[in-house]
Amino acid sequence: MKAKLLASSIFLSIVVSACGGGGGGGSSSGSSTPTPAVNNDGPADVASNDGLSEETISGGMTETNEAEDNIPSEADNSSETAESIEEDSLVENEISNESDEAEVDYTPNEDLMISDADNSSELYVENTFSFSASTLVDIQITGNYTNGDAIANSLVRVYKVDDSVEELTEESAYEKSLLLVGMTDSSGALNQLVEWPNNLKKVIVEIEAVGVENEALLSVDDAIVHHFH
């Protein structure tokens, strides 16, 4: 009998000992809900991750802004293009002006001058050559009688003669063509600018006056100048 009681006591002790933790929970609440485990490192990790995310985003935005600033705008490109074109134009104008100012040497090649030209590039052309068929000639005729009076209000005639004429007494000197008729003023002078053929080489000038040499054979240059007396 004592043995049975002892065995029962031992069994109860084992049961109580085994269920002691659970009993304590049962005494405080009839139905216990497990409390979620709190990860103390969680918020710190989240905060840390949020901080890194903001820095990354901020850095990305900064790099994007810098990249956008480095991209030239269309206005900048247009301005630079216009400046480049203007500079190129100035350089071309300077080169053109220097080329125009450079003196051209028209001195002929002596070796080519003694032989016939094979083509037009070997032809020698005077630097005064032009395609104009006429030239301006300044006529300056004056006259005085032997007593010093001016040969005033007298007719003056200019004739073209052959280039071969050397003296007024030559027969060919009478084969002349009238070019101009003018009149001296009150001081005995005739000044006139005329346009004549540029192949005109010689002329005869006559003035209507008695008692003076009233005829002269003259060569034609840029001007015809003669004084009758």
Domain residue ranges of the chain, discontinuous segments joined by +: 134-228
Q: What is the pLDDT of residues 166-222, one digit of tens each?
A: 999 999 999 999 999 999 999 999 999 999 988 899 999 999 999 899 999 999 988
Q: What is the third-level CATH fold of 134-228? A: Immunoglobulin-like (2.60.40)
**0.75 exceeded by pTM:** no
pLDDT class of 99 with cuts at 50, 70, 90: low
Q: Which residues pair with 144 in a beta bridge?
A: 150
> Alpha-carbon dihedral of residues 12, 15, 16, 20, nearest 10 degrees?
180
DSSP string spanning 69-118? Answer: HHSPPHHHHHHHHHHHHHHHHHHHHHHHHHHHHSPP--PPPHHHHTS--S
138 compared with 50, residue with greater pLDDT: 138
Structural tokens at position 44: 């710190």
Q: Regarding predicted confidence, which is higher, 70 or 142? A: 142
Q: Per-residue pLDDT for 123 more than 80? A: no
Token pair recorded at residue 133: 């068929």
